[in-house]
């Protein structure tokens, strides 16, 4: 059980088992920010450092939508090999 504001939320057994399986198999892994599709994110590092937009997809390739709201136009760019963080 985990949670905020003193409200417990159970962690699904499948999620615990998936993490356990990764660790038991000694597969290379590292902590990563929790990202959701349609979340605002910022690119960290490389030539796109500081670019902000909406995360359109996570897999198979991460796609970032950069929008110019006053003119209602957007660009879609692949940020598959960039680190992104939630804003």
What are the residue ranges spanned by the domains of the chain? 32-86
Which pLDDT score, from 0 to 100, does residue 42 have?
Answer: 92
Asked whether the beta carbons of 9 and 3 are under 8 A apart, the reply is: yes
- Interacting residues of 63 by C-beta distance below 8 A, sequence separation 6+: 55, 56, 57, 76, 77, 78, 79
Q: Using the predicted structure, report yes or no on whether residue 17 has a pLDDT greater than 70.
A: yes
Which of 54, 57, 73 shows the shortest CA–CA distance to 65?
Answer: 54
How many Cβ atoms are within 10 Å of 54's Cβ, its own excluded? 16
How many helices (H) does the chain have, and how many strands (E)?
Answer: 1, 5
Q: Using the predicted structure, report yes or no on whether residue 64 has a pLDDT greater than 70.
A: yes
Span 47-60, pLDDT tens digits: 889 989 988 877 67
Q: Using the predicted structure, report yes or no on whether residue 1 has a pLDDT greater than 70.
A: no
Q: Does the domain at residues 32-86 carry the CATH identifier 2.30.30?
A: yes
Span 18-40, pLDDT tens digits: 889 888 988 887 776 777 888 88
Prior bond of 28 cis (ω within 30°): no
């Amino acid at each position: 059980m985990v949670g905020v504001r003193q409200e417990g939320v159970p962690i699904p057994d499948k999620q615990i088992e998936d993490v356990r399986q990764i660790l038991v198999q000694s597969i290379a892994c590292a902590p990563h920010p929790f990202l959701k599709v349609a979340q605002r994110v910022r690119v960290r590092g490389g030539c796109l450092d500081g670019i902000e937009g909406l995360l359109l997809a996570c897999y198979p390739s991460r796609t970032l939508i950069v929008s110019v709201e006053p003119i209602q136009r957007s660009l879609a760019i692949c940020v598959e090999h960039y680190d992104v963080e939630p804003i």
